[in-house]
Structure 1
Amino acid sequence: MEEVTSLIHPENYWVLWAILIGWAAVAIVLEQKYSWASKLSGAIIALIGAMLLSNLGVIPLESPVYDTVWSYVVPLAIPLLLFQSNIVKVWQESKRVLIIFLISTIGTVAGTITAFFLFKDIIPQVNLIAAMLSGSYTGGGVNFAAMATRFDVAEGTVSSTVVADNLLMALYFLVLISIPAMNFFKNKFSTPHIDELEKNSDSGNQAASYWERKEISLTDIASAIGTAFVIVAVSFSLAEFFSNIIPENSNIFLSILRGIIGDDYLMLTTLTLFLVAIFPKYFEKISGSQEFGTFLIYIFFVVIGIPASIPLILQNAPLILVFAAIIVFVNMLISFGFGRLFKFNLEEIILASNANIGGPTTAAAMAISRGWTKLVGPILIIGTLGYIIGNYIGTTLGLWFTSLM
């Protein structure tokens, strides 16, 4: 990354936290107070505001504060948002989401192959860039890092690709979250989750209607936050334990097993749903968990937009941005094309494509922001599985492309 040239220093933690949390709060207030903001969605307001602040040089592109959001804020949000989840409904929805997710993954593979042959003789180390992006656009940043290490990619190439990846992910997030408001898509696809929200909405502002005031006590706050911390701690400890005892470079069965029970987010989601199923009365009594979790996710929305540096892209990686855009476009084309052919819901298609390109956390965040609460658990579970297959896809394509260079 470039030298720090922002108005606020990366280590000015209090000011950066104030901006992240303050802007998340502003986005929520605007969404619930004004109809135009409700239609736009608080998530887009949060993300665009962060992009403007970083691109205008007010806040830095990198800071330990942002890392803390990824490492602590997001994991805490996940169990809080799953406290009211019914495991039977989650399983029923997961089967459908799995199929469209795999179709979307085919889109990533097809897009990567298309982009590679278009830029094979134009972009240096395009075979390695393809490996990193195909892994990332199947699972997430974990796969990107794994492919960069696996193929020993030069630091300059990694940095340029990361910048392109960040900007494109933010822009695609804006596209996907805007689609539900477009009549073209609503007329072409079934939208049961959107229809349910509109049916249950008593006012023109769906966000304000959905997040109406609730009773909450100090006991609720203590139970929600305390339980979430314990679940995250136990889940991550278990995932680390299994990850350490199962060899990393072993046979396919052990590698898949390690990827499943050794993954932080998959273990976190699974354990939370298991506990909710075993102790339903305890979790049903906790009021406010959805509100806490959603506010934490809005902080995450702000962080997503920060690394999307347009000047850095124009300076270092314009062709890589085009390369990545082709992958995303083909993914979207196949996801929506086959999604319509096989009669998948618009919400399922959007979240599946999001889980591929941005990872399970961004997909879950989008589901939360739109009020599609029944799909939060399924997309987290299915999206996390992308971490497993992402490494195989990235490695396979990387080796094939390298043989063609």
Structure 2
Amino acid sequence: MDRVGVVVLAFGLGFLIAIFGGYFEVIDFEALRPMQTSISEVSVALALPMIVFSTSLRKALKDAKGALFAMFLAMGSVALISFLASFVFADQVAQIWQVSGMAVGAYTGGGVNLGAVKTAIGGDESIFLTMITYDIVFSALFMMVVLAFGQKAAGLVLRTYVFKEAGEVEAKSEMDHLANESAHGYSVLTERESIVGSLIVFLSAAVCVGASVALASLAPESMSSVVTIILITTFGILGSFLPFLHNTRSSFHLGMYLILIFCLTSATMLDTAIFTNMDWWLGAYFISILAGSMMLLAALCRLFDVDRDTYLIASGASIMSVPFIPVIAGALKNREILIPGIAIAIIGYAVGNYLGILVATLTQTYVGG
């Protein structure tokens, strides 16, 4: 089970709870939904700064250039595939121009962008609500594939990532507690000497979140979610400069433990009705975007000599957005791409709206609706 990985197991367990709990009607998910949403949002908000605290900012920024280039390739791939696929599915998917625009917003930025694009283009409310559910389902499938097979599959066509440590032995000693992705790695949270450090890190993360929410409340309501994520990440980066936070051994695994809670909770929010009342054409359109953009991005990364880890973190930043970057970086056992991954995912928030509106306009002009 440890070979499968704790992240994959957390997702899998959540899906089983959703499927069997809903099928046998032993869990009232409708009543639990507000609590599920709150748990998932709070766990991610607290986890992000904790994980960033444990990361070397200097090395991360040095590596961000390649990740940024890969991110632009990823966003371009999503936009192009979504536009081309709209020609194929024009007669099967209603209001294809709205669907294509909102899909690009979701898969170059995140759910926030999906809603923003819907508002910008005057999208149909029923189409919007359906796309939210489908986005969760197919994004989860994308994440499962990336976590379980992504690195091996990408390695068939892309070169391996070259770590930047000056000396292999010294780097191992520095990053030993971060590189342990097994279940045993979380035992650091139960060590007596780690309790005080864990408490300090947790309270520091809570301060980051509280300050971010307070400052974001000053921004327009439509931008508050994006501003909150940006501020939480920024405060986390600033905190990484503080030695007592950066050197706390339990910081990373405490953050990852909260990410596991997020994975489990998000998976239990699966709407099982999708399996009995599925719009297969819309589902096929989503799959074509995900699979098509991944293959196109892989070809472009091969052309420009981008390594497999950067390819996966860029595709994850585009399709899954900021909260999932630590999950992907953890599954890849690569801390060096964590901050660059978060940085390019935030760029996706900024660019996603523009790309979504552009693709919606082009689709309406050349394909119709």
Q: Same fold (TM over 0.5)?
A: yes
CA distance in 1, matches of 2:264, 2:110: 18
2:351 corresponds to which residue? Answer: 389
The one-letter amino acid of 1:343's match is D
Shift in Å, 1:218: 4.1
Matches within 5 A, 1:1-400: 37-56=1-20, 57=22, 59=27, 60=29, 63-180=33-150, 182=152, 185=155, 188-192=158-162, 207-208=182-183, 210-211=185-186, 213=188, 216-241=193-218, 243-244=219-220, 263-277=227-241, 280-309=242-271, 311-400=273-362
What is the distance in 2 between the residues matched to 1:292 and 1:230?
Answer: 16
Q: Is the 8 A contact 1:140 1:358 kept in 2?
A: yes
Alignment CA distance shift 1:283-1:337 (3 Å) = same
| Alignment CA distance shift 1:284-1:123 (3 Å) | closer
Q: In angstroms, what is the RMSD of aligned CA positions? A: 3.0
Q: Using the TM superposition, name which of 166-175 and 87-96 deviates more.
A: 87-96
TM-score (structure 1 length as normaliser): 0.78
**Contact kept? 1:148, 1:158, Cα under 8 Å:** yes
Which amino acid counterpart does residue 148 of structure 2 have in structure 1? S
* Aligned residues of 1:235 and 1:268 also touching (Cα < 8 A): yes
In structure 2, distance between residues paired with 1:275 and 1:181: 31
- 1:175 and 1:183 map into 2 onto residues whose CA distance is 10
| CA shift for structure 1 position 369 | 4.0
Give secondary structure in 2 for the equivalent of 1:315: coil
Contact 1:238 1:262 in 2 (8 A): no
Evaluate the alpha carbon distance shift between residue 288 and residue 210 of structure 1 in structure 2; reply closer, same or farther with a 3 A threshold: closer
Contact 1:240 1:262 in 2 (8 A): no
Secondary structure, aligned partner of 2:313: helix
Structure 2 stretches of 5 or more lacking a match?
Answer: none
- Relative to 1, partners in 2 of residues 1:69 and 1:384: Cα closer, same or farther, differing over 3 Å? farther
- Who is 1:32 aligned against? none
Instruction: Describe the SS at the equivalent of 1:40.
Output: coil
Deviation at 1:141, TM superposition (A): 0.4
The answer for unaligned runs of 5 or more in structure 1 is: 1-36, 249-257
Deviation of 1:206 (Å): 5.7
Answer whether contact 1:269 1:377 (CA < 8 A) is retained: no
8 A contact 1:38–1:207 mirrored in 2:
yes
SS in 1 for 2:182: helix
Give TM-score, length-normalised by structure 2.
0.85
User: Structure 1 CA distance, aligned partners of 2:233 and 2:154?
Assistant: 34
Per the alignment, do residues 366 and 132 of structure 1 end up closer, same or farther by CA in structure 2, a change over 3 Å counting? same
> Does the 8 A contact of 1:170 with 1:304 survive in 2?
no
Contact 2:70 2:314 (8 Å CA) reproduced = yes
Higher relative contact order (CA 8 A, sep 6+): 2
Per the TM alignment, residue 356 of structure 1 is displaced from its structure 2 partner at its CA by: 1.1
Query: Displacement of 1:42 after TM fit?
Result: 1.3
Residues 18, 272 of structure 2: 8 Å contact kept: no
Q: Find runs of 4+ consecutive structure 1 residues off by over 4 angstroms.
A: 199-202, 208-212
Amino acid at match of 1:289: S
Write the distance in 1 (CA, Å) between the matches of 2:137 and 2:92: 21
Q: Deviations over 1:51-94 (max 9, x none)?
A: 12212215427701221134311010011111122221121121
Q: What is the rounded CA distance, in whole Å, between the counterparts of 1:264 and 1:282 in structure 2?
A: 25
Are residues 332 and 308 of structure 1, via their aligned partners in 2, closer, same or farther at CA, if it must alter by over 3 Å? farther
Aligned position for 1:24: none
